Amino acid sequence: MRNILFLSLLIVACTNPPTPAPGNIVATTSEKRDDLLALYDALDVSGSFILHDVGRDHWVFIDSAQADVSSLPASSFKIFSSLYGLESGVVKDADELFTWDG
């Protein structure tokens, strides 16, 4: 269920205008999207989400106050790592197994 929340936040936060053409200078901008905290509240979880659109040099913060609180990322990076592994060809397919050496 938390993965669904993460993916929902990612999709909503990524709904930005297209990246400017190369060569255009873009000043750093940011926005707070605390209106999306309801997604966290609906699942009774706490946390924050920060997205950086490199092309526009634009930051999106959800619960920016919580972003300053230290916490472990836990399994958050498994989603990205899995997708990156599949896309880059390091992982053959979704059925490939890697043994954990502890």
Q: Which residues have a catalytic role annotated?
A: 75
In 1-102, DSSP assigns E strands to 29-32, 49-53, 58-62
72, burial (CB in 10 Å: exposed 0-12, middle 13-18, buried 19+):
exposed
97: its two tokens: 């197994």
Dihedral (C-alpha) 37, 75, 44, 65: value to the nearest 10 degrees? -40
The partner residues of 60 in beta bridges, in order of sequence, read 31, 51
